[in-house]
Structure 1
Amino acid sequence: MPAHAPISVPAQLPAVPADLTGRDSEIAELRGQLRRDDPAGTRATGAMPTCVVTGGSGVGKSTLALRVAHDMAVHFPDGQLYADLRGSTSTPAQAADVLGRFLRALDAGGALPECLDERAERFRTVLAGRRVLVLLDDAADEPQVRPLLPGGSYNAVVVTARRRLSGLAGATHLDLGMLAEPDAVRLLARVAGEKRVADDPLGARDIVALCGLLPLAVRIVGARLAARPHWTLASMISRLADESRRLSELAVADQQVTAGIAATYRGLGSDARTALRCLSWLGLPDFPAWIIAPLLDIPLGDADAAAEGLIDAKAIDFVRVDPLGLPRYRIHELIRVYAAQQAHQHDNRDLLTHRCGGSCSPGCGSSVS
């Protein structure tokens, strides 16, 4: 590695939440993606590792990325940079502003260039030949991320985003799903209290199921139980079982599940929002893509593209391939509850019946073959 004049060594990574639970295989995979070194210490591929962690709101992307970034910090002695890109909000960060902060943190010297391209060039120059880890949290899209990428193979970048960001050339991808039930129960116990959960293991399983195994939802329920020692797990189950109030129950202090789901919903196009409301109203455990065609009154051949758009937005998930060889999908439990509320508030029941009549009776709860 060539010698360079000393620069500041930033250590910007926020703390890792203390209740991170499970994710052992995902942690190992992300570490492996960042450790693409040969014995001589140069990148075996000659390219900088860029790792994108994707998943829906509240699934724990940021927590996982922070955990691995802290673990790997020793391999990046020239610093660790962090930026919240606010991609899931209505005011995403501007790449030029982020680069300005990074350059000041690196004490790059000289006046900051005014334009984005010149700041990106300065950033790449300052990091050339150095070992710096960059964590870009909650990215909106590829154009926001590209100017923030160093150019040298000694650096590494971790990006978290709700969408896959397939347009980032050479990036590796880690899709984060829901917790396994045992890990979700362990998370609930860590936050609410081990004894409380041990005294009612079946109740704990019911709670994490009502949370859809979503880490944020489980953590919120645990925090509410910890703050109310006189509440039983059964009383919390009763609160969550009422779908009309479930999402309002999943909030504590400044943490709430609804905000993330609402942002996902707002990010959909009009037709996609309509499809999601109708699918939630049908109440199917899973469904094939073709069912979207009558819901939106579109050609059958366009239904697959509509389903893929909902998958990209993390509004639905792929479940399995059925005996006919067709992919089947599912709406996450909490997104289903939110979309059903939106349907109740904004859609005429007769219109819903008309849209869904060609697919299945409302609330039928059985698979469409």
Structure 2
Amino acid sequence: MTDFVGRRRELKELREDIARTGLDTLSGRKDMAPRARVLLIAGRPGSGRTALAEEFVREVADEYPDGVLRAGLSTPGGTAVSTERTLRDLLEGLGRPTPPGAGADELGEVLNEALTGRRAIVLLDDALDALQVDPLLPDVRECLVVVTSEGPLTGIPDVRPCTLGGLDTPAAVELLTQRIGDIRVTVDPRAAEALAEACGGQPAALAVVGGWLAAHPKATVADLAKQLHDTPAAAGGGPLGRAFRFVYGSLPQPAQRTLRLLPLAPAGIIDPQTASALAGCSVAAAQSTLEDFAGLGLLRPAADGLYLLPGCLTPFLQALLESKERAAEVQLARARTLERTVRLLHSCRAVAEDDEDDLVGEMREVSPAVPRALRFPDARAAARWLDSRLPALDAAARLAVADGELDTLARRLISALVRALAVHRGTDAAAPELYGLHRLVLDVAERRGLHREKAAALLNLADLDAETGRTAQALERYRAALDAGREAKDPYATGRAMESVGGAHQELGDWHRAADWFGRALTQALARGERADEARLYGRLGNVHTLSGRYGEALRSWRAAAAGYRKLADVPGQAKALSEMARVQEYAGRPEESLHTCREAVDLARRAGDLRLQAALQVRLADTLDRLGDPAAARLHRTAADRLLGEDPSAYEIRSGSGQDI
């Protein structure tokens, strides 16, 4: 990696700007809410604005001991990254979990809370405008925000841009020397200065021509300066466009085609697998080509074998792609990349699943037919691949959905990504990513009129809403899922939606509507002979009747649930249903019946080997015996409970008390 050169004046200005009295203070507006200091580095793509920001952050890092948070605000193609996605990236950098489905306002509050009392730097790269930056500014005076952008951030007060031009000639020559060594520069220093001037002092242009010289050790600096001067400039490209055009023209035809297909890589993140699929070549050939591109300054190497497409070169590559590739070929390249990604995700998931899983057994039987390039040596390598590629995988799914012509592949990709995340991270940890993926499935299902998929996506989204406390929003989605399930004539989706609507009403404290919807779901389960669903729904009805104080109906429901579990030979389920019956009998003022039912439940729990349930029931027996005036027997049952699980009261699942304890 080359060292940073030049820009000492700009670095000094940025340091002085930190301590500069703000315009708000000068104008007497001291009553404004505190906020982080904002520094802006403005310059055209390729001017080295990101490199300057990184160097400045490195120099002042000691003054901000709580670290540096980084986020890119636009893709290499110039598309804005959503505020929600950026806030999630910043919070992940702080190690803070983010609630799935949370909006920008909620995430902004979480970020402010996380940064309160900290001295940290927030580096926001490639901002498109002030509207994109403003929601990301923390209301923490001790923090520093460094933004890079092409233009001013009009609308954000107290921001004075540090505007970049080209490097001065000595710094430009020094940057060139780092790429090619000092011999060719020393031999002809005037040619080196002429080449630096031809590049306009732009670091990106110097990196490209320096890379070409490094790859052609017999070429002289003077020869390149002349050839570059004779190369026609691309329309609006300036020195960087001329340098790129020259280097592109020197590549072999296969390498040219691979290069101009790289803008199709999601989020500008490229690895040998992606390049191989885009160009239709072997992974080994793609790896060699990517290494050559990195040496030429056309790609930036990153961690884990990844390469990043510089945003300053993307417009030139996009123009070449549109002018030299047929639309059908572009679509085919996209499809090949999606198909390769789906296969990698299947392999990533399979290597991490348990040995007993049927899919793993199937994958192992056919593993010799799976190309070596698509296999992972172990689950750790697969998880590392998934983590490093997740931004690109998420972008691939979004691009595929937005394309509209590859919906089948998009659905397969999203399904494979959901399953891989669930296996490697667990559904709880992966919930923020899963929420976004389910929304993409919903978009495709609505566009294509796929009612079954629409119902599934709505149910999944509603479940995540319910888990994060957005019960009203979850209820709305459950109702929409019910309509979609009916359109699809899918009994599972309709039954699941009706039960979930009831659960949402229960969460909102509307016992009457909850009982009504549980009853509807139960009627469907009875009509279809779904015994497991029947037993569960009888239990949910019993629970909501208990909460509303309708103890007679609650007892009938719990009795039916216990009978259902008995028919299913589900001993633990039967024991839990009887334990709830005992609870209701106690609430109804029938302690003798409660005692009898509770003893029956203890016997069943003992048969099921459920020590936790046994202990909880022993505690209930003790409470009931206390009420019946038998403290000696109550002490015996409490001792038995302590013997089963120790003296940790949190181990007991069932407590006596009000109906709200259920």
TM-score of the aligned structures, taking structure 1 as reference length:
0.60
Report the secondary structure of 2:142's partner residue: coil
TM-superposition CA deviations, 1:22-45 (whole Å, max 9, x none): 1111111112223569xxxxxxx8
Structure 1 match to 2:121: 133
CA change 1:137–1:68 in 2 (3 A) is same
| Aligned positions, number | 242
- 1:243 positional shift: 2.8
Contact 1:51 1:157 in 2 (8 A): yes
Q: Which amino acid aligns with 1:189?
A: T
SS class of match (2:312)? helix
Q: 1:104 to 1:209 in 2, by over 3 A?
A: closer
Query: Following TM superposition, by how much is the alpha carbon of 1:18 offset from its aligned partner in structure 2, in angstroms?
Result: 2.6
Residue 113 of structure 1 deviates from its aligned partner by: 5.8
Give, in angstroms, the shift of residue 240 of structure 1: 0.3
Counterpart check, 1:260 vs 2:260: no
Change beyond 3 A, Cα 1:260–1:110: closer
TM-fit CA distance, 1:79: 2.0
Q: Measured at CA, do residues 233 and 150 of structure 1 come closer, stay the same or move farther in structure 2, by a change above 3 Å?
A: same
CA RMSD of aligned residues (A): 2.7
Give yes or no for contact 1:112–1:119 (8 Å, CA) kept in 2.
Answer: no
Q: CA deviation at 1:53?
A: 0.3
The residue number in structure 2 matching 1:248 is 245
Asked whether 1:29 is paired with 2:13, we answer: yes
Contact 1:208 1:218 in 2 (8 A): yes
Q: Which residue of 2 aligns with 1:51?
A: 39
SS at match of 2:232: helix
User: Aligned AA for 1:205?
Assistant: E
Query: In structure 2, what is the equivalent of residue 216 of structure 1?
Result: 204
Matching of residues 226-237 of structure 1 within 5 Å: 226-237=214-225
Report if aligned partners of 1:86, 1:138 keep a CA contact under 8 Å in 2: yes
Secondary structure, in 3 states, of the residue corresponding to 1:174? strand
What is the letter of the counterpart of residue 293 of structure 2?
A: A
Give the CA deviation at 1:172. Answer: 2.8
Does residue 73 (structure 1) correspond to residue 61 (structure 2)? The answer is yes
SS at match of 2:90: helix
Q: How does 1:330-369 map to 2 (within 5 A)?
A: none
**Separation of aligned partners in 1, 2:181 and 2:98:** 53
Distance 2:94 2:77 in 1: 27
Structure 1 position 20 matched with structure 2 position 4: yes
Structure 1 pair 203–109 and aligned structure 2 pair: CA distance change class (3 A): closer
Range with bigger deviation, 85-94 or 174-183: 85-94
State the 1:177 CA deviation.
0.9
Q: Secondary structure at the match of 1:78?
A: coil
Determine the C-alpha separation between the residues in 2 that align with 1:56 and 1:100. 27
TM-superposed deviation, 1:72: 1.3
- Are the aligned partners of 2:87 and 2:136 in contact in 1 as well (CA < 8 Å)? yes
Aligned residues with identical type, % of pairs: 33
- TM-score, normalised to structure 2, is 0.34
Aligned-pair CA distance for 1:108: 3.0
The code of the aligned residue for 1:21 comes to V
Flag the structure with higher helix content: 2
**CA 1:212/1:167 → structure 2, altered by over 3 Å: closer, same or farther?**
same
The one-letter code matched in structure 2 to 1:226 is A
Alignment of 1:46-195 (within 5 A): 47-86=35-74, 89-109=77-97, 111-112=99-100, 114-195=102-183
Map Cα deviations across residues 226-281 of structure 1 (whole Å, 9 max, x no partner).
Answer: 221111112212320213274412567264599737749x9xxxxxxxxxxxxxxx
Q: Find the residue that maps to 1:77 and give its secondary structure.
A: coil
| Aligned counterparts of 1:259 and 1:241: Cα–Cα separation in 2 | 24
- Listed one character per residue, the Cα deviations across residues 104-128 of structure 1 (whole Å, up to 9, x for unaligned) are 3323356356111111111112111
Separation in 1, partners of 2:311, 2:108: 33
Could you list the per-position Cα deviations for residues 172-200 of structure 1 after superposition, in whole angstroms to 9, with x for gaps in the alignment?
31001111112211211222111210110
Contact 2:88/2:98, CA 8 A, preserved across alignment: no
Displacement of 1:166: 2.3
Q: 1:116 to 1:110 in 2, by over 3 A?
A: closer
Contact 1:85 1:136 in 2 (8 A): yes
Cα 1:97/1:110, change in 2 over 3 Å: closer
- Structure 1 residue 152, shift from structure 2 partner: 0.8
Find the aligned partners of 2:212 and 2:73 in 1 and give their Cα distance. 29
* Residues 206-238 of structure 1: CA deviation (Å, up to 9, x unaligned): 111211221111122112112211111122123
Q: CA deviation at 1:48?
A: 2.4
Answer 1 or 2: which has greater strand percent. 1
With a CA cutoff of 8 Å and minimum separation of 6, indicate the structure with the bigger relative contact order.
1
Question: Which amino acid in the other structure matches residue 71 of structure 1?
Answer: E
Structure 1 residue 69: deviation in Å?
0.6
- Contact 1:87 1:161 (8 Å CA) reproduced: no
Greater gyration radius: 2
